[in-house]
Structure 1
Amino acid sequence: MRVRLLLLFLFIYSLASQAQLSDLARLDFTFIPNKGSDVEYTRSRFLVNYPLKLRKEGQFLFLGVDYSNVHLRFKDNDLPFDRELLNDFKLLDFTIGFTKPLKNGWRLGVRIQPGISTNNAARNLSAEDAVFSGDLVFIKKFEKDIERPSRLIVGLSYSQNRGYVFPLPFISYYRKFRPDWSYNLGIPKSNLQYHLSDKHRIKLYAQLDGFTSNIQNGALVNENEFAELINMSLINGGLQYEYHFTDHFQLDLRAAYNFSLSNKLKDGDNNTILTIDNDSRSYLRAVLKFKI
């Protein structure tokens, strides 16, 4: 049973591009100040997941809900659109995940997430608010060297409400190369981790982040164009501190530098009609989670 739970954790950890299914419950707060930009970004997020063991050996099903509220505060009063239409967004995903063992020590992981993503000014949902996300990954563990275990994960990840609205390769290679040191190389996240003690860990990391949402009924821009989508995408890297209250309950604090950050309003064909100035380089995040 312990081996099954470990395999289960390895699978759900691999799906960390949107939300870690290893987290049975999570509170997540992200803040990007408007220093050097026209917009301030705040995201509050809550998710719950429930794993179900299936009858067949090594197979599990996951059911969950992932909810976010994104708040944008615009500093420039001369921006050519109604800011009240674009200051609050709701993102809601329903998660269905599945994992099963394959031949030669490989494991299959599949996740689908139907949901909605819309501006808070919308009173009623429409078909344009519907979004879809999905992941397909294959996991392989290498344990010949007990002191230096490693793991390879390869696959594809797609999401309509992420900052990057096209399929991304999911690649993750983990290796523990010293008793207190490990690294994870891949897309959408890489890190180098050091265990200070059983309770304290620090990481250097780099990642992709962002969100995309429908703008219901459109927002008039420049008096002749309507924005139907808002897209924020960023690439950042920084320092993460972890405090482990128990083996299953932890606090993560992150401070990062934004190497690339863009805010765009787009039409229904995904063509950019306005880029909002955003040169903010600070990224702060706090995560409290209970995990398997």
Structure 2
Amino acid sequence: MFTSSVGNLSILANSMRVLIYIFTFLAFSCCFCQYLDIAKLEYTYVPGNNSNFEYQRQRALFNIPIKLKEKSYFFVGLDYSSIQFKYKEDQDSYDKSDAERFKSLDLPLTYTQQLNEDWIFGAQIAPAFTSNLADGLQNEDFLISGIIVFVKDKKNSEKVRKPFRIITGLYYNTNSRFPAPIPFISYYRKFHPKWSYTIGAPYSNLQYHLSEKHRFKAYAEGDGFNTSLQNGVVINDNLMANRLRMFLILTGFRYEYNIAKHVESYLIVTRSVFSDVQLRDGREDVFVPKLDDVMLYRIGVRCKI
């Protein structure tokens, strides 16, 4: 009986880990499924004074729209991030000098087509480079991801008493532990003049529309990064890691202020409910340090469709 219980717990733990990995991949790369930003400037900060790690990210994103024909657009994008991650414990476990500062550059190419009055089709391919740049760009710094989505958008329809939006599709990432397309779905509904909700991955929220300019959200989402470690990092004198991945599941509050019709600023205060960092050799974990739960703060401004 004891052996059976241990086996069941092991299966449960592995199943939970699979779900977390799937959520990770969606959270890192499916932002355009929630909305397609034309431009964004953002700063994220996890202070290190009350935890065993510190995390900062400065991000700039642009998508240039090109009209192909009626109700059909092509977007050429650039998404750049400068990332700092400092882990304070286990000072002798690995050399952190090459595992604290990273650069990330995505070059997404996006196509959208209005299929009919109800449905929109979207597809995106996003080559990316993410690395500590210890020795220039190398082959292992290169990743590629892709998304196909179908959107039924009645969010602003005057014919619908309770506006809604459904997004469904498939996502694929070359660095995934699951080298196959992963399905996802997101559902939005405004059920009251001042209240709406979104349920799905990688983002869910409950939103209060105070006015045309002010909105408040209680929400959950994922945050983190996935980068190569050029030249490798030695772990405990006998193992080598060539990738580092950090992932946080966050819950908290977001305040949005509409500066203009398509421009908004936002302030986010969240706390992590799950924190995970992995130093990996290919797709195998070689060192998994424990992260404390932390407060994460984010401020930004974006221009949206």
Q: TM-score, normalised by structure 1?
A: 0.86
State the distance in 1 between where 2:217 and 2:76 align. 30
State the distance in 1 between where 2:29 and 2:54 align. 25
Aligned to 1:284: 297
Say which SS state the counterpart of residue 54 (structure 1) adopts.
Answer: strand
Among 231, 235, 251, the residue aligned to 1:221: 235
> Is contact 1:61–1:96 with CA below 8 Å preserved after alignment?
yes
Among 144, 148, 151, the residue aligned to 1:139: 151
State the distance in 2 between where 1:278 and 1:23 align. 31
Aligned to 1:100: 113
> Is contact 1:163–1:209 with CA below 8 Å preserved after alignment?
no
Aligned to 1:9: none
Quote the sequence identity (%). Answer: 39
Aligned to 2:258: 244
String of CA shifts for 1:126-181, please: whole Å, max 9, x gaps.
Answer: 11110112111111134585331111110122346899998543311111111111
Change in CA separation of 1:159 and 1:287 when aligned onto 2, cut-off 3 Å: farther
Task: State yes or no: 1:176 paired with 2:190.
Answer: yes
State the distance in 2 between where 1:140 and 1:112 align. 21
Q: Deviation at 1:236?
A: 1.2
State the distance in 1 between where 2:176 and 2:245 align. 8
- Opposite residue 25 of structure 1, the aligned amino acid is A
Say which SS state the counterpart of residue 245 (structure 1) adopts.
Answer: strand
Q: Deviation at 1:71?
A: 0.3
Task: Name the structure with the higher helix share.
Answer: 2
- Opposite residue 253 of structure 1, the aligned amino acid is L
> Is contact 1:32–1:280 with CA below 8 Å preserved after alignment?
no
Aligned to 1:257: 271
- Structure 1: which 5+ runs fail to align? 1-14
Q: Deviation at 1:249?
A: 1.8
Aligned to 2:132: 119
Aligned to 1:34: 48
- Structure 2: which 5+ runs fail to align? 1-27
Q: TM-score, normalised by structure 2?
A: 0.83
String of CA shifts for 1:56-90, please: whole Å, max 9, x gaps.
Answer: x3111000100001101232362421111001011
Number of matched pairs: 275
